[in-house]
Structure 1
Amino acid sequence: MFDSAHIAEAVAWRHDLHRHPELGFQEERTSKLIAGLLQGWGWQVHTGLAETGVVARLGEGGPSIGLRADIDALPIEEATGLEYASTHPGKMHACGHDGHTAMLLLAARRIAAEGVKDGNVTLIFQPAEENDGGARVMVEEGLFSKFPCDTVFGIHNWPGLAPGRLVARDSEMMAAFAIFEIVIEGRGGHAAMPEQSDGVVAAAARMAAALQELPARRLSPLVPGVVSVTQIHTGSAFNVCPDRAVVSGTARWFQPEAGDEIEKRLSEVVQGVAAAHGCRARVDYQRRYPATINSAAEAALVRRLGEAMGLDTGETGPSMASEDFAFMLNEKPGAYIWLGAAREGDNPGLHSPHFNFNDDVLPTGSEFWVRLVRQALAA
């Protein structure tokens, strides 16, 4: 287990990272802190992959394992009131990446102290998980060709699960996702004479309702899929029918066929509704992350190790949220893991301006990392 002084120091790293959040591909201070600590413990440190990524390696030959932590923050104004709250207006660690980083650093310190005799370990501190696909960039820039790994694993704190829970499903963990922006255009005019203008606002409203119903009407009830309209921007005055509206949102799915169907039908709905209101519409639809799918053997290993630690590894359903660790799992066998991190009493969810990583679970995650490395390199 971990020395209490080392745990306290890891909590201090976490709080320091929380005070200084940095957005995707801008994690300069964060990367320097990580690299400096790892070098001090004897890791071979490499920087610059995906701009601000840090990759560290220990050991030679034999089996190899990759451990990933995401390091970026979110563009959210913090509302926690914590003593160590964000000092950067409009930015905060609202997803616990500060905790993931501290957790892997604490494990790295112990792994280095105990040594790696058979095989090698690669630590992947990945930038830009939130929307920008830092994992994709790292893979495209040669992550696994420069730092070969047999398997790769990632942990995410999960406030929807109690501490003491560890979940790694044999298959789907997180959904694929796309973003869309629909621009609707038509004649504008006076609100008192709507017959002299096109129904831009009405078209936007009908699209919002129809698109969110699309999965229920076009996918089997047994096939998960969701479309969420999250923004409608239009109008400038009470008495003006606008000539332009923008509707934006996201789509989520697991099966590739479901993703294809959602994209096809979304475009059909948009064009049909626009035409019915005498408007024109264009759709910008971008697929961002594939589904996060675990390898069954690696997920089973995670559960065995969790059970040996006394953790509850009972299965729960997948999440329709998304995760760019999927790009790494598309390249290598591995598993994405949820670590229960709920707080007693008020327990804000991920991406809330009130969210704060639960420091009590930091040693649990670090201990799991150490045991996973031992098991993987003993194979």
Structure 2
Amino acid sequence: MHSESTGHIHPAIRATNILQEFSLPLIAGVVLGLLAANTNHIWYEMVVEFYPFGENASVFGHALTVHFIINGMFMCLFFGIAAKEITSSTLPGGVLNPLRRAINPLVGTIGGVFGPAGLYLLLAWVIYGGSDDFGAVAKGWAIPTATDIALAWLVARLVFGATHPAVNFLLLLAVADDAIGLGIIAIFYPDPHHPVQPIWLLLVVGGMAAAYVLGRFRIRWWPVYILIGGALSWIGLAKAGVEPALALVPIVPFLPHSDHSAGLFEEEAVLDQFEHQLKLFVDVGLFFFAFVNSGVALSSIGYVTGMVLVSLIIGKAVGVTVFSWAASLVGFPLPNGMRIRHLFISGIIAGLGLTVALFVAGKAFPSGSAFHDPGKMGAVFSIASGGLAYILGRWFNARDQEGIGVIDDPAVDSAHQRSEADS
């Protein structure tokens, strides 16, 4: 995810680095999807629901439309990369290791889930309470809990500067947030057309076992793990009625990783190869994901759009700030150099839901629902939180790592002093 330009780099490589670092394919997909849906909606729907292998082609009851191929198959790789980030973060040297260092942002992550979900449900009750639509609208509670890791990291670097401790804090929060998001998708959003059949989840366990055995035999070619373990997991989830795009999430942690203390691999670990060799493909492929998921008519903007957007920006900011600040009061301080102003701005940046929020919106409000397009529009508009964070960052001098000035908190300073005394 992190790429720095050093020395003389070939123009094509430099262009590719910029393309990935600024998530340009994803953003371009969003823009073109919106343009297509608002200029020729019939053509757009024909493209999204096109059957490239014929109208009778299906896999375990799932019609092979362009939409399903991208959301149910390609997104396996996206969530696999997310699982790699989560796995790496728990290893020695990762942002989740040791655990004590990660307590504060992890608590903040919990606030970043409960805050927006609670605010969304409150708004749903205020606007739709007592109506027949309340139950359907309430199903969208998980949409504003998501954080787009890549966009959040990018905006954090622009707002705070590349070396500010708030960048790693936010990266950890986003990774943990997506880990929770994956669980929410699996548990709360089963496929409505395929009733849950838990017995098929044994195939997922079989896939995990296969990946473990391959690791014990020190197989160093990552496609073997994906083709065997990942395939078993995908079939198991698809047949069980659980979102098959999550197939690689339980498999990726079994890919061999660097462990020099155990003397395993001196060369690049399989886990790292998986990310390095797929990252460009996935980043470019997100153009197609954004295109087929963000194409909603501007006329569809409604109350649900505002509910998702407000919950993402305000709910995230307040939830992350309150929970993380409370953790600092009980002895789990923010990273040195971070203060309440940095924390609050980090919470706003975490409101960049886009990728995962779009995915959840499609699950919470299936195609045909009156709230499908408004919910997705709220996820798209969450890009605004990046601009808001940039403005506040300039206003409150967010690049200052000393924390002298605008909204410093003696309680946070006290927590830092207790932590330093303990260590």
Shorter-chain TM-score tier: under 0.3
Instruction: State the TM-score, normalizing by the size of structure 1.
Output: 0.26
Q: Which has the larger radius of gyration?
A: 1
Larger proportion of helix: 2
Larger proportion of strand: 1
Instruction: State the TM-score, normalizing by the size of structure 2.
Output: 0.24
